[in-house]
Structures are given as C-alpha cells and as structure tokens.
Amino acid sequence: MGRNLRFLQAADNTRPYRSHRFDVFGPKIGRRLTLFGQLPMSYWVLIESDYTVEGYCERPVLIPDAKPARVVDYWVKRHEQEEFWFLLRPSEIALPKDKSIVPPAFQAWADSQSIVIKCIVPEESDSQEIYFKNWGTMIRYISSNMSFVTQDLVQNVEKFISKPRTVGELETYFGEDDPMLVRTALFSLIHSGKITCQNLDSALIGLGSTVEAI
C-alpha cells in the first residue's frame, strides 16, 4: 500500500478559512491524511470506494504563481492512467467558458507527464447520503480491524460468496469467528472489487443485504 506512487503526501497543509478538518485513514494508501471541508471528504469516499483506483494523494501539487493560491485537490492513479482532480468552487464554475483555472504552463507540464486533468463540477451529495454512510462504515471497519483479519478468513469468505448470500447468512456460517472480523473481511472484498453489495446507494448495509461475487 502506498508504494511506488508519484505523490506520497500533501504539498500544502494550509487550512482554508472556516473549513472543517477531517483526519482519516486511507486503506488504499496505508496512511493517515487530513482533509479540509465536506467536499474533499465526500470525494475521498468516492475515491476509496472505486476499486479501479490503485492509489491517490490529497493536495499533491500547489500550482506555481496561481492567484489566488490553488492546489490540485487529488492525484488519482488507475492501472493505465493518472489524473489530477480539481473540485471546482462556485466562483470557478461561474467562470466564462474561455477561462480556465488551469494555467497553460501547468497544463503543458501535466501533458508531458501523461497526467489527465479533470475539472469536476461537484454533484449534490444529499442523494448519495446512504452511499456515503455505507462506505463510511466499511472504511472504518477496514481501517480499525483489518490487521486482525487473517488471509484464510478473507479467502474463506470470498469462497462462501461464490453465489449470492445475505450478510446474515455469512455471519451464521462463520458463527465461530468474531462477527466484527467476518464483516471486516467482507468489506475488504467489497473494497477491492471482488464482491459487490446490492443497493449500497439506497439501503443501509445490514444482515439482510445481499452480497455476491463480481
């Protein structure tokens, strides 16, 4: 986790005025990170929940000579592509179409490094509230308990879910194991993209939730 990544830590830890601070642990990169504001926090959850993302870094680059000061919100690494994410502020969304928050020199440098720049207009998160709650729960389980989960348990859970099962069926079958560790093993498989859980965006995950192999 976190090895062989182009960016390993934030380039700027300045806290924006009146922003809320979140201290979290990122399972994909195996380290703690600090996020400022609900928007970066929400997109961090989306990054962690996307199994195609292999690594990432928060605030990896401070754009030289930008006025006002501007950082890249995230660097995201997929198998065949690297990306810089700019989460657009309201004032940036309102800019004329012929204006860009990305200076030409920075765009040219990103192109030379084969890094794709993505300017993201944030979506309303209210409609994703349940999705964020579910992934918040799973990430907390993985962050807190994964070091206590054996590879054998993960493999056995994956084997049991070779056909669709409910979480309740899973916990009953592994009744002699700590249910917290069984759930952690399950959540780690969902996190890695080997298992999927139905209705993560519409129902809180529980004993009746159905999980199945991808």
Question: What's the pLDDT at 98?
Answer: 61
Length in residues, the chain: 214
Q: What would the two tokens of residue 156 be? A: 């056995």
Model confidence pLDDT, tens digit, residues 39-81:
999 999 999 999 999 999 999 999 987 777 889 999 999 998 9
Spatial distance between the Cα atoms of 125 and 202, rounded to a whole number of angstroms: 13
Helix (H) or strand (E) holding 160: helix 151-160
Question: What's the pLDDT at 125?
Answer: 56
Quick one: which of 212, 206, 120, 123 has its CA closest to 160? 212
Q: Which residues of the chain have pLDDT under 50?
A: 1-2
Q: What would the two tokens of residue 59 be? A: 């605030």
